Chain A
Amino acid sequence: MTAALELRDVTRRFGSTTVLDQVSVRIEPGSFTALLGASGCGKSTSLRIMSGLDRPTSGDVLLGGSNVGEKSAYERNVAMVFQSYALYPHLSVAQNIALPLTMRHLSPLGRLPVIGSLVPGTVAARRTIMRQVTESADALGLTELLNRKPGSLSGGQKQRVALGRALVRDPSLFLLDEPLSNLDARLRIRMRSEITALHRSTGKAFVYVTHDQTEAMAMADQIVVMIGGRVAQAGSPRELYERPNHRDVAAFIGHHAINFLQPGDGMEAGDSIVGIRPEDLTPDESGALVAQLESAEYLGSEVIMSLRTRQGTQVRSIAHGDYAVPAPGTGVRLGYHARKVHVFDPITGQRREAGA
Chain B
Amino acid sequence: MRLSLDGRQALTDLWLVAPATLALVLFIFVPVAIVAVLSFSDYQFGAPTFNWIGTENYLTLFSSTIGRRAVTNTLLYVAIVIPFSVGAGLIVATGIHRMAGWAPRLSNLMKTIYFLPVAATLVAMSVAWQMVLHPSLGIVNQTLASLGGQPQNWLSDRGLVLYTLAMIGIWQSIGYNMILFLAGLAAIPPELYDAAEIDGAGGAWSRFWTVTWPMLGPTTLFVMVITATNAFRVFETVATMTGGGPAFASDTLVHALYREGFVYFKAGYASALTMVFFAFLLALTALQLRVVERKVHYR
Where the two chains meet, the residues of A that have a C-beta atom closer than 8 Å to any C-beta of B are 48, 51, 53, 72-74, 78-80, 82-84, 86-91, 99-100, 103-104, 108, 149-152, 165, 169
Contact = CB atoms under 8 A, between A and B. Distances in A.
A82 B195 CA distance: 8
B275 interface: no
Interface residues of B, number: 20
Given A89-B298, A149-B298, A103 B206 contact: yes
28 contacts: A48-B194, A51-B198, A53-B197, A53-B198, A72-B202, A73-B197, A73-B198, A73-B202, A74-B197, A74-B200, A78-B198, A80-B198, A82-B191, A86-B195, A87-B195, A88-B192, A88-B214, A89-B214, A90-B214, A91-B214, A100-B198, A100-B200, A103-B200, A103-B201, A103-B206, A108-B205, A108-B206, A151-B299
A99 B192 CA distance: 13
B217 interface: yes
A86 B192 contact: yes
A86 B200 contact: no
B189 interface: yes
Main secondary structure of the interface of A (DSSP, over half): loop
A53 B197 CA distance: 8
B206 to A, nearest CB: 7
Interface of B: 189, 191-192, 194-195, 197-202, 205-206, 210-211, 214-215, 217, 298-299
A86 B194 contact: yes
Contacts of A152: 299
A82 B202 CA distance: 17
B215 A89 contact: yes
A62 to B, nearest CB: 19
Contacts of B210: 88, 99
A100 B299 contact: no
Contacts of A73: 194, 197-198, 202
Nearest to A79: B198
B141 to A, nearest CB: 42
Contacts of B192: 86, 88
A151 B199 contact: no
A48 B214 CA distance: 25
Contacts of A108: 205-206
A301 B214 CA distance: 53
A50 to B, nearest CB: 11
B189 A84 contact: yes
A104 B200 contact: yes
A326 to B, nearest CB: 53
Given A149-B298, A165-B195, 8 more contacts: A72-B202, A74-B200, A78-B198, A79-B198, A88-B195, A90-B217, A99-B210, A108-B205
